[in-house]
Amino acid sequence: MSDKNTAAFFRAEGVLISRGVVHAATWMAAQRAGLRERAIRFGQAALAAPVFGLLGQNDRSLGSRVAHLAYRDMTEDRIHVLAEEYVDDMLEDKVLDSGVELLKKARAAGHRVVVLSEGISEIMERAVERYFRGVDHMVCNRLEYKGHKATGKLIDPVIGGYEGGRWVQAYAAEHDIDLARSVAYAGHGPDLLLLSAVGQPCVVNPDFTLRKAAREADWPVVDYSA
């Protein structure tokens, strides 16, 4: 057996929490200063929902980019403060206990726990700190700021596309991780490469594309809603 470490990769959306970036972005847009701004940015964030509906099973990065346009011109201060409020008030009921159990088991099994998320760092880092103890590494999207204000753009690489698969290979090499003995939990079509990269993939609450792929690859599929 190899002396290398093993890791458990968790996709946050759908595995650990039941809400995605559209929910976060619309909520944040609705908290902007000024009623006009709130209405415009809320509409902008909501536009991401049909984009995810149409393309989300193949590539989620476009949906993420559209949703995060709602952050444009929002100050870093506001985003940080609202992110805290969002995590404390809005995500509390959206944490999936079954996902938390999977995370605990992975930890107990001695895996290095890595969480990947489409959400922004301001929200996800606090969410992980608050609800998911024992996470060793967190990878999420980062907003671009200029002059203390968000530009509405995400810094590349945008998490949510097929990058996850490439990223996991690089991560394993950097941290001396044996992917053949590692596990991954994910539920979206674009996570296919991530799941294929590890020896023990597990499909959680999958969308249509991933369910079909899992059936073909004979991967275990787990469904839970709480």
Summarize as ranges the residues that interact with another protein (CB under 8 A): 31, 33-34, 75-78, 80-82, 84-85, 148
Shortest spacing between CB 138 and another protein, in angstroms:
21
Q: What is the largest CA-CA distance in the chain?
A: 61
Shortest spacing between CB 81 and another protein, in angstroms:
4
Distance in angstroms (rounded) separating the CA atoms of residues 140 and 39: 27
**CA quadruple 165, 169, 172, 174: dihedral sign:** negative
Shortest spacing between CB 132 and another protein, in angstroms:
23
Toward another protein, which CB reaches closer, 37 or 207? 37
Q: What is the DSSP letter of 151?
A: E
Toward another protein, which CB reaches closer, 59 or 76? 76
Structure tokens at 165: 């698969």
Toward another protein, which CB reaches closer, 85 or 136? 85
Toward another protein, which CB reaches closer, 81 or 109? 81
Environment class of 10 (CB within 10 Å of its CB; exposed 0-12, middle 13-18, buried 19+): buried
Distance in angstroms (rounded) separating the CA atoms of residues 102 and 16: 9
Shortest spacing between CB 191 and another protein, in angstroms:
35
Strands, DSSP E only, in the chain?
Answer: 7-11, 112-120, 137-141, 143-146, 149-154, 183-186, 200-204, 221-222
Toward another protein, which CB reaches closer, 88 or 156? 88
Shortest spacing between CB 45 and another protein, in angstroms:
17
